[in-house]
Amino acid sequence: MTQCVSKRKSYGFVRATIGLAVAFAGFLSDAAYADEDGISYWLPGRFGSLAAVPSMPGWSMAEVYYHTSVSAFGNAAAAREIRVGRIPANVNVDLNLRLNAQADLVLLNPTYTFATPVLGGQLAIGITGLFGRSAATLDGTLTAAVGPFVTTRTGTLSDSITSVGDLYPQATLKWNAGVHNYMTYLTGDIPVGAYSASRLANLGIGHGAIDGGGGYTYFDEKLGHEFSAVAGFTYNFKNTDTQYQNGIDFHIDWGASQFLSKQLFVGLVGYYYQQITDDFGQPPILGGFRSRVVSVGPQIGYLFPVGDLQGYVNLKGYGEFAAENRPAGWNTWLTFSLSPMAPTTTVAPSRRIVTK
C-alpha cells in the first residue's frame, strides 16, 4: 500500500508540473513569418504529452527557449518577396529562389489555476510574451515578364530583428475521470509585437487571430503509459498593412510517453497542420496558397523538487516533412517550469490525511 501511495504522490507532481508546461508549451507564433508567407498564427507543437491533465491550483511559471531553422523554395519563397514589395503582384514570374530563416526566442508564461471548479472542471488562464531574434535570407534568380518585356534578377536579400513579439492569452478548462482526461481551450493573438510588412523577418504577425479546440489525454499512473492529442481551428483577421487575410487552419498536436521512473519519462511528439480554406487578397500567381506540414520527433522530461515547488524540464524536437506552401525544417523546445507541489497523502485505516 505504501508503494502505491508513493507512486500516486509522484504522479501528482506530474499533474502539477507537466500539466502547466504542456498547456503553455508554446504560446508562440512562428515569429519569423507573417501569414502571407504560408505560416499561420498557430505554431505547431504548442501542446504535447499530458496536455489535458489538470494541474495543481495556484500560480505557476513556465519558460521556454525555442529555436527553429527552416527553408523554402518556389511559391513559399516568392510569397516573402511579394509581401516586402520586391515582386509586383501582377507580373508573370519564373522562380529559382530559396528562403532560409532562423529564430531564437525566450518565452515567459505566468498561469493561474483556479481551485474552485467551473462547469465541473478546472479553469486556468495565462498569457505569454516573447523576446528574441529572427533572421531571414532570400537568394536566387527571378525572371519576370510583363507583356513582351522580360527581366532577370539574381541576388540576395537579408534581414534580421531583435525585439519583442505579440502577446498570447489562453484559457483552458480540464476534466479528469480516472485514466481519461479532457480539455477545451481558447487562445489568440494580440498583435503588439515588432512587425513591418516591408521586412523579411518579423517578431509579430501584423494581425489578430483567435483559436479554439479540445484535447484528450490517456494517462495510466500505475503503468506510466500516456498519450495525448489536441486539435483546433484558427481564424485569422485581416492584416490591414497588406490587406491580406489568411484562410482557416486546422491543426493537431500529439505526444506519447513512457515513465521509466517516478521522475523520468521519454517518448515521441508530433503534429499535423493543414490550411483548409483559401487566403483572401493573395496575388493571383500564388493561387489559394493553402499550407501544410507534418512533423515527428523525440522528447525527454524530468521532474525534481525546488524548495516548496515542483520543477520540471523537458526537451523535445521536431523534424518537418510533407510541407506545402510553407517553410519547413526543424525546431527544438527546451522548457523549464515551476508549479505548486502536489499535496502529500498518507492513508490510515480510519481516515485519509492530506498534508502540504
Please give the CATH superfamily to which domain 2-355 belongs. monomeric porin ompg (2.40.160.40)
Gap between the Cα atoms of 151 and 142, Å rounded: 8
Give the per-residue pLDDT at 156: 79
Give the per-residue pLDDT at 328: 86
Give the per-residue pLDDT at 327: 82
Count CA atoms closer than 13 A to 274's CA, side-chain side. 5
Give the per-residue pLDDT at 100: 85
Closest CA to 231 of 271, 177, 277, 268: 271
Cβ atoms of 319 and 286 closer than 8 Å: no
Segments making up each domain of the chain, as ranges:
2-355
Q: Is 173 left (phi over 0), alpha (psi -120 to 50) or beta?
A: beta
Which residues of the chain carry a pLDDT beneath 50? 1-35, 86, 345-356
Give the per-residue pLDDT at 114: 97
Closest CA to 314 of 324, 322, 303: 303
Closest CA to 103 of 62, 169, 159, 23: 159
- Determine phi and psi for 166, rounding to 5 degrees: -70, 170
In 10 A of CB 258, how many CB atoms? 13
350 secondary structure, DSSP code = S
Closest CA to 293 of 44, 1, 9, 37: 44
Gap between the Cα atoms of 243 and 60, Å rounded: 39
Give the per-residue pLDDT at 10: 44
